[in-house]
């Protein structure tokens, strides 16, 4: 579990600010935002335990992806064999640089 937690990247404020600036320019240039949607990669991520996972967990991303027309969708469901609160504690500690 520790190796999995350490694989998450730390938040990069500079990359986030650059992305927001680019989106603002796109919005200013294009009211319809189709060009912006074509640049987007939607990555829903769901963490489940083996006992809570269901085939329907993909929801609208699988049943009606037309709502996200133009965007690429990569959906990830990770099933872990530990209690989610333990995993979350390890993940938050890692992101904070405590591990």
Query: What pLDDT digit, counting tens, does each position of 35-58 carry?
Result: 777 777 778 888 888 888 888 888
Cα(26)–Cα(75) distance, integer angstroms: 25
Cα(98)–Cα(85) distance, integer angstroms: 17
* pTM higher than the cut 0.85: no
First to last CA, the chain: 13
* Mean pLDDT of the region 12-36: 77
Alpha carbon 13 to its chain centroid, in Å, reads: 16
- Helical ranges in 1-99 per DSSP H: 2-6, 13-29, 34-39, 60-63, 84-95
């Amino acid at each position: 579990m520790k190796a999995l937690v350490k694989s998450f990247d730390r938040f990069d404020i500079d990359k986030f600010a650059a992305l927001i600036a680019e989106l603002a320019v796109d919005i200013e240039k294009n009211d319809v935002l189709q060009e912006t949607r074509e640049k987007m990669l939607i990555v829903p991520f769901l963490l489940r335990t083996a006992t809570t996972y269901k085939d329907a967990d993909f929801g609208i991303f699988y049943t009606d992806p037309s709502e996200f027309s133009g965007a690429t969708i990569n959906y990830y469901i990770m099933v872990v064999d530990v209690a989610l609160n333990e995993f979350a504690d390890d993940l938050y500690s890692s992101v904070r640089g405590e591990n």
